[in-house]
Amino acid sequence: MAVAYIFPGLNALIRKSDRNRFSHLPEVQNYFLKAEEIIAARFEKKISFKEFLELPTEEIYSIKNISLAAVAICCIQTGVAERLRDKLGQSPDWVMGCSLGDLARAVFAGAYSFEDAIFNHIWFTQRIDGIDQIGRNIGVLAPKSEKFEEQDYAWFAETQVDVSCLTPRFLNVGGRYEDLKKVEERAREKGWNTMNILDYPAHSRYILPYVLAVESDFTHVRTYSPQIRIFSSLSAQELTDPKIIKEEFLLSITRTIHWSEAVQRLVQEKGICKFINVGPCRSLSGLMRDIPVNVETIEAFEVLEQIHV
């Protein structure tokens, strides 16, 4: 039975129950300690992730703390994935991340060192100050019996927003404030629900100038051939070349996610029979219910409970 580990994105820490779900695991505690040491040595900043995760959700997700939230998620996910692999006695056949989940999936797959992942993410995040002044991301959800059609995608393109298709009926839309107002107006007309996702326009063309400003520094980033097969939710293809993996890291925040297509291709072309959601949140499991595939999806904590660890 072919298995893929899937790694959720930045929303993984919204609920306190999710933040605390794996904090007791020795692998996770070890990565928290490593990250604290890296931050202290390379940024001369003292941080306790135990205390950080006790902060109110709105403070954890404030612009000033967003890089620390990302690091915390990477620590949790990498630790959980390693524990799953070790306790199950085998590596997954594939790994795939959704947005920020790409960070931990690359570390776990051996394509990116943990120290580089932590340092580079904080370093480059500090260099894109001001992205929250451009726009934001919203979720757009069609009624249960409906899905988005070609004419809807054409309208989004005309409105100059960038659309990530997470399921046939749920989209992550990134764009400028004025364009997103048009999206919200159309949502009211069409009976779509909308929700705020991020206070800056991730996975959109509008972040590209900020990315290009740090492109020369990014040449020093080191990536390696993965030891576990990586499937990209951006290109819906396998990633094997370290240069392509590095390019994805640089441009990922500017490119749309094709989660629904990637999941379907993993099942139909790669024979995946089971997805294990590394978590700590269940967002990706929720999405799976609306993607037309016949596949089992199980939570990492359920797997660990079944094997009594």
Question: What Å distances lie between residue 66 and 30, 71, 93, CA to CA?
Answer: 21, 9, 31
| Domain final residue, candidates 201, 226, 250 | 201
> Is residue 295 included in any domain, yes or no?
yes
Q: Same domain for 144 and 58?
A: no
Q: Same domain for 239 and 162?
A: no
Query: What does the angle CA 218 – CA 99 – CA 178 come to, to the nearest 5 degrees?
Result: 95
Check residue 68 and give its pLDDT.
Answer: 95
- Beta bridge partner(s), residue 176: 135
Q: Same domain for 62 and 159?
A: no
Q: Higher confidence at residue 211 or residue 73?
A: 73
Q: Same domain for 146 and 122?
A: no
pLDDT digits (tens, 9 = 90+) for 93-105: 999 999 999 999 9
Q: What average pLDDT does this structure show over 9-27?
A: 94
> Is residue 207 included in any domain, yes or no?
no
On the question of pLDDT at 117 being above 90, the answer is yes
Q: Same domain for 8 and 116?
A: yes
pLDDT digits (tens, 9 = 90+) for 259-306: 999 999 999 999 999 999 999 999 999 999 999 999 999 999 999 998
pLDDT band at 123, cuts 50/70/90?
confident
Check residue 309 and give its pLDDT.
Answer: 58
**CA–CA separation, 40 and 271 (whole Å):** 44
The model's pTM: 0.95
Q: What average pLDDT does this structure show over 85-99?
A: 96
The answer to whether the CB of 267 falls within 8 A of the CB of 274 is no
Instruction: For the chain, list the strands marked E by DSSP.
Output: 2-7, 94-97, 135-141, 162-167, 170-176, 193-198, 229-231, 238-239, 272-277, 296-299
Q: Same domain for 90 and 159?
A: no
On the question of pLDDT at 214 being above 80, the answer is no
Check residue 126 and give its pLDDT.
Answer: 74
Token pair belonging to 81: 């994935």
The answer to whether the CB of 285 falls within 8 A of the CB of 297 is yes
- The pLDDT > 70 percentage for the chain reads 98
Q: Same domain for 221 and 196?
A: no
Q: Same domain for 165 and 286?
A: no
Check residue 222 and give its pLDDT.
Answer: 93
Q: What average pLDDT does this structure show over 60-89?
A: 94
Domain span holding position 172: 133-201
Q: Higher confidence at residue 67 or residue 128?
A: 67
| Domain final residue, candidates 172, 201, 230 | 201
Check residue 212 and give its pLDDT.
Answer: 83
Q: Higher confidence at residue 11 or residue 138?
A: 138
The answer to whether the CB of 241 falls within 8 A of the CB of 267 is no
- The rounded mean pLDDT for the chain is 94
Q: Same domain for 196 and 225?
A: no
Q: Same domain for 197 and 270?
A: no
Check residue 307 and give its pLDDT.
Answer: 81
> Is residue 206 included in any domain, yes or no?
no
pLDDT digits (tens, 9 = 90+) for 19-35: 999 999 999 999 999 99
Check residue 201 and give its pLDDT.
Answer: 93
Check residue 249 and give its pLDDT.
Answer: 85
pLDDT band at 239, cuts 50/70/90?
very high
pLDDT band at 124, cuts 50/70/90?
confident
Check residue 110 and give its pLDDT.
Answer: 98
| Domain final residue, candidates 201, 226, 258 | 201
